[in-house]
Each structure stands twice: as structure tokens, then as C-alpha cells.
Amino acid sequence: MDPHLDEVRDVTPSADGCEDCLKIGGRWVHLRLCMTCGHVGCCDNSPNRHATAHWNATHHPIMRSFEPGEDWMWCYADQAMIEA
């Protein structure tokens, strides 16, 4: 059990795509949803890696895949996959 699961909230996604890419006209490969605040960022395979940038700026530890049909989460603090 990941010790950071207590930071998971019932969040509302901040955007339908990567919030930061939408602001700058960027593109993304896959989307991630911050489970602390609802920020939608792009994955590390995307050019701007906004989900990781969000972790670096906020230290919100857990992101969930925001891709249809995927229900896994990633803990940045522990560098560990969390199966739903």
C-alpha cells in the first residue's frame, strides 16, 4: 500500500487535454490527472512532460492515467505504479 494514497482526492479534471500544452499550443502523447488537485498534464513521452513538471512544482505525489480504459496510478514520490 502506497503511503501517499491519503493525498488522493475526488478531483475534477482541469481541462480535456494537457492544460499547459493547451495554453502554449503544444501537443501531447498521453494524459495524466493529478489526484490531489485535478491538474491534467502530459506524460513523459510528450515533448513538454507537463505531468512531471507539475510534480516538481507542487509535490502532489499521485497521478492517474487520464486515458480511456486505463485505471492505473503512478506515485512520483515513491517512483511506483499503483494498480487500481
pLDDT value at residue 83: 80
Cell numbers at 7, concatenated:
493525498
Position 84 pLDDT exceeds 70: no
pLDDT value at residue 14: 97
The span from the CA of 50 to the CA of 69, in Å, is 21
* pLDDT tens digits along 7-55: 999 999 999 999 999 999 999 999 999 999 999 999 999 999 999 999 9
Residue ranges per structural domain of the chain: 5-82
pTM recorded for the entire structure: 0.95
The span from the CA of 6 to the CA of 15, in Å, is 24
Q: What is the chain's length? A: 84
CATH number of 5-82: 3.30.40.10
